[in-house]
Amino acid sequence: MVLTGKIAAAGLVLGIVLAGCSAPAEPPAAVYPLVPRTVRPHEKPLVAAPTTEGDTVFELIGLTTGMTSVLGSHAEWPAKGQFVRIRLVITNTGRTTVPFDANRQLLITSDAAQHAPDSQAMLIKRQPGRIDVGANDRLEFDLYYDVAKDAVPAALRAFGGPTLADFSDRTGVDIPIAAG
């Protein structure tokens, strides 16, 4: 009994010593209090984890399908099939400017076809083309694709811009599209 008590006491002392040696818990990181926004008519919110490609983080936040035309301040443009609109947020996590080309972002449909953004729809809706995204900057915008009427969006093949590891920006990353 005496030996068991001494072992228990030694274990208790060792536990207290080890607990005192552990690193203090870090407080949670502060976050920006962004106000939730209502999705646009006929848009579905997307549920996708942020995805990194190079120094760019992509967040897909909205999807609209079945659009028969786009209307801007200076023109209306009919779809050959249907327009698909993807709302996304990009963030440059690097220390330098990232040259970003919205025209390289490819919509992959369920039949494995790849679609580039529709240049007329992007122009009419005044969305960015080639832009420089500054260090730690965040940009939210739409991509418009003209696809067959029965096409189903499956993924966005995202290209974040050249990096030292991929200077030609050839790799890209596929981000599944899952409507919430």
- Predicted confidence (pLDDT) per residue in 78-136, tens digit: 999 999 999 999 999 989 888 899 999 999 999 999 999 999 999 999 999 999 999 99
- Alpha carbon 159 to its chain's center: 11
Is the residue at 114 inside a domain?
A: yes
Is the residue at 30 inside a domain?
A: no
Residue with the larger pLDDT of the pair 48 and 112: 112
Is the residue at 9 inside a domain?
A: no
pTM for the structure as a whole: 0.81
Q: What is the CATH number of the domain that holds 48?
A: 2.60.40.1240
Whether 63 has a pLDDT exceeding 90, the answer reads yes
Domain count, the chain: 1
Label residue 1 by pLDDT band (50, 70, 90).
low
Is the residue at 154 inside a domain?
A: yes
Range of the domain at 160: 44-176
In degrees and rounded to multiples of 5, residue 12 shows phi and psi of -65, -45
What mean pLDDT is predicted for residues 55-75? 95
Is the residue at 104 inside a domain?
A: yes
Is the residue at 73 inside a domain?
A: yes
- Alpha carbon 27 to its chain's center: 26
Is the residue at 16 inside a domain?
A: no
Is the residue at 34 inside a domain?
A: no
In tens, the pLDDT along 171-180 reads 789 999 986 5
E-strand stretches of 51-113: 51-53, 56-71, 76-92, 98-101, 106-109
